Amino acid sequence: MSPDEKKTGKGPADEPGFAFLYVPDSDQELAGGVPEEKYAIAKEVYEELLRARGDRRSQPPPFVMDRREGFVAWMNPGGPEIGLEEKAYDVCASFGDDTRNAIAALLGHELTHYYEKHDWRRHFVSQYSDLEVGKDLGALDDAKRNEAQADYLGGLLAYSAGYEVQDRMPQLCEKLYAAYGLKEELRGYPTLEERKTIALRAQRRLQELTKALDMANYLVAIGEYGEAFDYYNYILKEYQSREIYNNAGVCALLAALEHLEPGAFRYRLPIELDLSGRRAGKGVEEDKTKVRQQLIDQAIDHFKSAIALDEHYAPAYLNLGCAYTLQGDYRRARYMAEVEATDWAKTAKQEKVLTDCLVLSGILDALEGEEAAAQKKLQNAADQGNTLAVQNLDILKGKTPQSSTGMTMPLQEQIDGVSLLSFAQEPEADEDSEQIVNAQRTLYHKTWPDKNSRLLISMSNDGDRMVFIHTTNPGFEGQTGKGLSAGATLKEVTNAYGSPDRSVELTDGRLLVYPGLLLVMDRAGKLKRWVTYLVDELE
């Protein structure tokens, strides 16, 4: 807004648009009277987006709502604040069951404008308009680029917060323009058709990155750490979050464990994945000690990057404590587990993280010869339902933790009637699904109109290796090969499948790893979803 527009209150307010880089007149009071229920729902969505963003390097802007009809939604960097009008809320509410998804799409867009500092050029131009650099910058039109980035990164933010925003934005644009009586062409901004095109392209890219993130997380779960790291690096080039840095660090730390000599470390560390190049240990013989230290250093760097984004992020402190434990730096490890991770987990009421902190503290006691103290802490965690504590108690008492009951790969396991062994004989992918991750890897996906599942395919670019990941979608109503449905208890799972080969700790549960099968358990110990997988490697 120009100085003259600021004085008169004219300008973009006469041609209101949504998600614009518009700063409402700071002298004009925000109208009150928004119903408490509407504000509470929108505020809850907003706070979930902030948690998912996890970037506390600057103070998050407060959220406001008002009853004016002209600004729709805005980002005010001068406040700072993120605003939403009641009328815009009502448009989002017209999506019915998708109300929160629509709100998340709108507010995620605004938060991206804030965190990506899209307003910097306007302020610079106004302050330095007498200089050539100010005139040159003023002649540029960044609106379309900024809107595309806000749609894309805002959508990824909303997705990482658990909202399904794919394909919502074009329809949301149409409804908002119609509700506010906006012209299709607004001065200084993309046209309605351009915005819809931008949104569609951004959503396509969003879908690609979310599939890459899912593939990365599942590759960690099945122990394909080198390949998983390629995917995390691919994502981090475009989108950085505390969860992705944390998971990349987990990937490196788990790979470091594979470079330990057999029996060198007895205990099972509570390294938490937030579901949220070459394969390690293969190829040329390497100095395991050197590689292990490099991987631990890499993990520490990533955990610190997650903490730099959010100093309140308890899982990264816990994982950092695990890394220091492997380094033999028990003093730092104990501080991370007993102070930093515990304090922030209490603040965030993360019960799973809290019991994992007890597990790590108990392991540290055991490593330092304080077996009585270790047993007390591990028993405390076990009494709270932490199964990793039970396993470490067995180790402390000299028992060998149970593994799966001699099961071979349950290739009879199918999702939606799809056998991965059969599929791998003649693999096929959806058109235009190719994502070139790097010089070594390409990602494809396969969906079916009559199935509630999806299949991801990671292929090495020399064609000698493929990884197939087939996962149930939310609301899947089928059963596993042994008759389990979503909601099955941990006891029912282990009765049917035996103890898992291993498990991956999650911030809100556990992922049980069987040959060819992953069972995702929630924090209450109930089956949430499941995955079949196959690694097809030419000799």
DSSP H helical ranges for 328-370: 330-335, 342-348, 351-367
What beta strand segments (E) does 19-142 contain? 63-66, 73-76, 81-85
Query: Tens digits of per-residue pLDDT, 87-138?
Result: 999 999 999 999 999 999 999 988 888 888 776 444 333 333 344 433 443 4
Distance of CA 53 to the CA centre of its chain: 9
* Structure confidence at residue 186 (pLDDT): 72
The stretch 363-382 carries a mean pLDDT of: 96
* Structure confidence at residue 303 (pLDDT): 96
The stretch 515-528 carries a mean pLDDT of: 92
> Long-range contacts of range 511-515, CB-CB < 8 Å, 24 or more positions apart?
511/221, 511/273, 511/275, 513/221, 513/222, 513/223, 514/404, 514/407, 514/410, 515/404, 515/407, 515/408, 515/409, 515/410
**Does residue 145 surpass a pLDDT of 90?**
no
**Does residue 78 surpass a pLDDT of 90?**
no
**Does residue 38 surpass a pLDDT of 80?**
yes
Confidence label for 197 from pLDDT (cuts 50, 70 and 90): confident
> Cα-atom radius of gyration of the chain, to the nearest Å?
25
Closest CA to 105 of 176, 170, 154: 154
Measure CA of the first residue to CA of the last residue in the chain; give whole Å: 64
Most confident of 87-96, 181-190, 306-315: 87-96
**What's the pTM?**
0.74
Query: Which of 3.40.50.300, 1.10.357.10, 1.25.40.10, 2.130.10.30 is the CATH number of 225-396?
Result: 1.25.40.10
Contact 516, 532 (CB under 8 A): yes
% of the chain at pLDDT higher than 70: 83
- From residue 357, alpha-carbon distances to 226, 325, 337, 426, 508 in Å are 27, 13, 5, 46, 14
Gap between the Cα atoms of 240 and 230, Å rounded: 15
* Structure confidence at residue 424 (pLDDT): 92
**Does residue 514 surpass a pLDDT of 80?**
yes
Gap between the Cα atoms of 317 and 334, Å rounded: 10
* Structure confidence at residue 74 (pLDDT): 86
Kindly report the average pLDDT of the chain as a whole number: 82
* Structure confidence at residue 7 (pLDDT): 29
The stretch 399-428 carries a mean pLDDT of: 74
% of the chain at pLDDT higher than 90: 50
Query: Tens digits of per-residue pLDDT, 462-504?
Result: 888 999 999 999 889 999 999 999 999 999 999 999 888 888 8
Confidence label for 146 from pLDDT (cuts 50, 70 and 90): confident
| Helical axes 143-160 vs 99-115, angle rounded to 10° | 120
Looking at per-residue pLDDT, the higher value among 145 and 424 belongs to 424
Query: Tens digits of per-residue pLDDT, 46-63?
Result: 998 988 777 777 778 899
Query: Tens digits of per-residue pLDDT, 147-183?
Result: 767 777 787 788 777 787 767 778 888 999 999 888 8
Q: SS3 letters for 117-129? A: CCCHHHHHHHHCC
Give 519: exposed, middle or buried? Use CB within 10 Å, 0-12, 13-18, 19+. buried
**Does residue 26 surpass a pLDDT of 70?**
no
User: Which tokens hold the place of 377?
Assistant: 């802490």
What residue ranges of the chain are covered by domains with CATH 1.25.40.10? 225-396
